[in-house]
Amino acid sequence: MPVDAVVLESADAARLRGSRFAEVLQLARTTSTNLVAAERARAGSREGLVVVADHQNAGRGRLDRTWEAPPGSSLLLSVLFRPRPADLAPVQRHMAVWAVSLAAVEAARVVAGLELWLKWPNDVVAMDAGAVAKVAGVLAEAGTGWMVVGVGLNVSWSPPSLPATSLEALAGRRVPRSQLLVELLLALDRLYGQWPEVSRLYRARCATLGRVVNVQRPGRELLVGTAVDLGEHGELVVDPGQGGREEVVYGDVTHATLGPPGSLPTR
């Protein structure tokens, strides 16, 4: 593997010793880190395997979208989990996705000094006077006895076709991917399994709650209402103002009202 393709530097990797995410498979180029992690899961790899790539040419997002970025411009990783049903029931596996999203927010805070937010269901965003710019996307896939959660985090580049930005554009300086990866995995190690705390922190950091939202669902009319809650299984609860509430499990959400998000409670 070329030297410039290394994401995790050896000095930073030493900090992961003793954590459940110390096994990091580094790839210079691949199709998708999620695909590789899923293949390893089916082959019997243990929980905690992390697949990270300098570049991927078949990255995926929600709703069959693609995720493409120039080599070396993003932090691209996937984490393999093998949650036991007694610890995390299949209907609660969104908690693992929430934990990864929160870990990405924490890594950006520690390494880049940035305050980022979460947009339901799976985006890490920057907020400027209420406007939303995507910084990262999170995507989960599952099979029998395993799940993989992947992250594509804009570090030095962001797609010009989207309301998006990058960590370096926000911070105004270089943001080392190696340090970012380590801080994300250390934060995930602290959060994973602490599900009541994950739920509390996600709600506090979710910029969607309390806003009027537009929800586009496949084959259904546009839903407009106020995002008032998160359901037991991670669904977004929307009040359309007609005396009822709708639970959104799947769909595209945009914020129709702007304003500063709430502050994160003291931990």
pLDDT exceeds 50 at position 232: yes
Report CA dihedral (235, 240, 246, 251) to the nearest 10 degrees: -50
Inter-residue contact 171 to 109 (CB < 8 Å): no
Mean pLDDT in residue range 152-161: 93
Same domain, 94 and 194: yes
Among residues 126, 206, 120, 118, which one has the least CA distance to residue 163? Answer: 126
Together in a domain, 108 and 83 = yes
Residues 91 and 171 in one domain: yes
CATH assignment at residue 222: 2.30.30.100
Res 218: pLDDT? 86
Tell me whether residue 190 is in a domain: yes
168-181 pLDDT, tens digit each: 999 999 999 999 99
64 and 152, same domain (yes or no): yes
pLDDT computed for residue 116 by the predictor: 97
If asked whether residues 71 and 201 sit together in one domain, one would say yes
Q: Report the CATH number at residue 70.
A: 3.30.930.10
Is 262 within the bounds of a domain? no
Domain co-membership, 178 together with 235? no
Res. 75 pLDDT band, cuts 50 70 90: very high
Spatial separation of the C-alpha atoms in residues 149 and 101, rounded to whole Å = 10
Q: What percent of the chain has pLDDT over 70?
A: 90
* Pair 216, 158 in one domain: no
Same domain, 27 and 9: yes
Query: Which structural domain range is residue 216 located in?
Result: 212-255
Residue 42 φ then ψ, to 5° = -65, -25
- For 191-214, what is each residue's pLDDT tens digit? 999 999 999 999 999 999 999 999
The C-alpha angle 225, 231, 232, rounded to 5 degrees, equals 175
Same domain, 227 and 157: no
Domain count for the chain? 2
pLDDT of residue 265: 31
* 164 and 144 together in one domain: yes
Instruction: Give me the mean pLDDT over the 95-112 stretch.
Output: 98
